[in-house]
Each structure stands twice: as C-alpha cells, then as structure tokens.
Amino acid sequence: MEKVQIGRVVEFYSNSCLVEIREFKIPCKTPKDQDIVVGDFVEIVPLQDSLEVKGKILNKVQRKTSLKRFHRGKKKVFAANVTNIAILLSPVPLTPKIFIDKWLVLSAAAGIDPLIVVNKIDLTGDEEFKEACNIYESLGIKMFKVSGKSGEGLSDIGRFLENKTTIFVGKSGSGKSTISSKLLGINLKTKELNKSKGVHTTSVSSLYVKDKIEIIDSPGVRDIEIEKFSPDEVLKGFFEIREAALSCKFKNCNHINGVGCNVIDQVSKGNIAESRYNNYISFTNNE
C-alpha cells in the first residue's frame, strides 16, 4: 500500500474498523477526533513500523447522506452515504403502518429515497395487510412485491438496487436477513446467531457488497426515534398531507380543528388515509 488512498469503511467496531481498498480490507484504528461510521469514504496511509498491513485514517470524504440516531440524548450518525432505505412490509408478523410512516419521515429528513418491499407474498395476508399495500402503492412510493422464501421478485429488486447503497429496515421477523442474505449470496442469519453468542463482542455495523449491490447492516437502526423531528420535518414524510395543506384556508392551520382545513376535508372524502392522518398528528404532537 502506498501513500494516501481512498477506501470505504465496510466494517465498524467501536475502536477499530476495516477499510476496503479494491479487494483488500485494511484494519484501522478509529480516530478519536473524527466521527467515522460504516459507509464513509476515508483517506488512509499505511502505518509505519507495523508487520501486518494496517492503515491510519487521515480524513473522511464529505458525506452525501447520513443517518442519525439518538444516543444518550445526542444525535449521532450511524451510517453514511446510504442512498436507499428499503422498508419491509410483511403480512406475518403484520408490519404496523406507523412503522412505515416513521421510516418515510426519517428517509425524507435524511434526503434518502425510500422504497417499500412487500415480503412473504407466498402467504395470504389479511385485509389490514392488503389495505396497507394499497395505501403506500397509491402514494406512488416505489414498491416491490417479493418472497424471500421462494425467491420470487428478488431479481427485480436486485436489479433496482444495483449501484446503490441500501439499508433494510423492518420489524423483527419481517424478513430482513432472509432477503439481504439472498441478494448478497451469504448467510447473514448465521452471523446474527454468532453475535448473540458473544462471538462479536462489540456490536458491529457492516457494509456488504455483491456485484453492484451494497447493503448496510447496522444495529443503530433499532434506536432511531421519531420524537425529535420538527413539525416541518414530519410533514415532509407525509407528502399527500403536505400537498393538501397548501389549500387550507388559514396559513397556520393545525389540521386538527377543521375550520377551512383541506387536510381534514380530504380525510373525510377518503383521499387521505385515516391511518396516515392519525400518525401525522401523533408524530407532530410528540416532541
């Protein structure tokens, strides 16, 4: 390894990380004065006097996007340069619509494109599940219908995710590991098992690459909270409400009391789903 080179942080532990340069994964210490996370592009130089190949991180390249979570009361970035958030919607266990709405707000706040992956299409979902599919499909959000189990639809989503860096989010049991494993051709489930047995002592975030698909797997996504978003940020995730709100009679309409409120009007006409409206109100009153 010569001089300064740019690599990608593909594995991140608390004190160290692996930086990939071409096909090499080079261990580096995480600098104390810089916040480096999985997905970051970094400049590294070889460490002097070391027998094994090791690198020293000098700088990080400016991030295109960053995903943040609240950690001990502070916002902390946990993944960088994610371009797509794939939200899983599954019939069993049924994904609550509030989970999807939350992630649509988070995607909008981070400037990252969301897509919805309806998984387990080999199972017949109940009415509530079908209703959820209809709501999000009619909002015009990119949607894929797949079965992680049979593999149906996976090649379509694989093609779509080429040249993108994706993070899968979903309730436990919705099929994140199954789908990611099949797309990447590795077994992520086994890895999780290892982690729970303490084989990996610190929680690790990884970026997996297969052909042109990049998938980030990070425990950070579990602690993401919605409560800290401003009403404006929340509204960005509710596109249809944002649009309807433009036609409310009063500029400072709170979309609750109803006088001249076009949002409430559209809800009563069935043009805006009640669940979307209710979640919007609950998110904006949750600061």
Ligand X SMILES: Nc1nc2c(ncn2[C@@H]2O[C@H](COP(=O)(O)OP(=O)(O)O)[C@@H](O)[C@H]2O)c(=O)[nH]1
- Pick from 66, 81, 95, 177 the residue near Mg ion by CB under 5 A: 177
52 and 23 Cβ atoms separated by less than 8 Å: no
Q: What is the number of the residue whose Cβ is closest to Mg ion? A: 177
Q: Site residues for Mg ion, window 52-81 (CB under 5 A)?
A: none
Q: Report the candidate in 263, 237, 238 with the shortest Cα–Cα distance to residue 248.
A: 263
- Pick from 125, 148, 158, 220 the residue near ligand X by CB under 6 A: 148
* Interaction pattern, residues 210-249, with Zn ion; x per rule: CB under 5 A: --------------------------------------x-
DSSP codes, the chain: --S-EEEEEEEE-SSEEEEEETTEEEEEEPPTTS---BT-EEEEEEPTT-SS--EEEEEEPPPS-EEEEEETTEEEEEEES--EEEEEE-TTTTPPHHHHHHHHHHHHHHT-EEEEEE--TTSPP-HHHHHHHHHHHHTT--EEE--TTT-TTHHHHHHHTBTEEEEEE--TTSSHHHHHHHHHTS-HHHHHHHHHTTSSSS--EEEEEETTEEEEE-GGGGG--STTS-HHHHHHT-HHHHHHHTT-SSTT--SSS-TT-HHHHHHHTTSS-HHHHHHHHHHHT--
Residue 14 or 194: which CB sits closer to ligand X?
A: 194
Separation of alpha carbons 218 and 136, rounded Å: 25
Q: Site residues for ligand X, window 91-130 (CB under 6 A)?
A: 119-120, 122-123
Q: Of Mg ion, Zn ion, ligand X, none, which one does residue 263 interact with (CB within 5 to 8 Å by kind)?
A: Zn ion
Residue 40 or 217: which CB sits closer to ligand X?
A: 217
Q: Of Mg ion, ligand X, Zn ion, none, which one does residue 122 interact with (CB within 5 to 8 Å by kind)?
A: ligand X
Q: Of Mg ion, ligand X, Zn ion, none, which one does residue 15 interact with (CB within 5 to 8 Å by kind)?
A: none
* Stretch near ligand X under the rule CB under 6 A, chosen from 19-27, 42-50, 105-113, 145-153: 145-153
Residue 85 or 253: which CB sits closer to Zn ion?
A: 253
* Stretch near ligand X under the rule CB under 6 A, chosen from 21-29, 57-65, 174-182, 261-269: 174-182
Verify binding: residue 218, ligand X, rule CB under 6 A.
no
What minimum distance in Å lies between the beta carbon of 69 and Mg ion? 18
To the nearest 10°, the Cα dihedral for 183, 184, 189, 191?
-170
What minimum distance in Å lies between the beta carbon of 269 and ligand X? 36
Residue 48 or 196: which CB sits closer to Mg ion?
A: 196
What minimum distance in Å lies between the beta carbon of 129 and ligand X? 13
The footprint of ligand X (CB under 6 A) covers 119-120, 122-123, 147-149, 170, 172-178, 189
Task: Name the residues that contact Zn ion, by CB under 5 A.
Answer: 248, 253, 255, 261, 263
Residue numbers at the binding site for Mg ion (CB under 5 A): 176-177
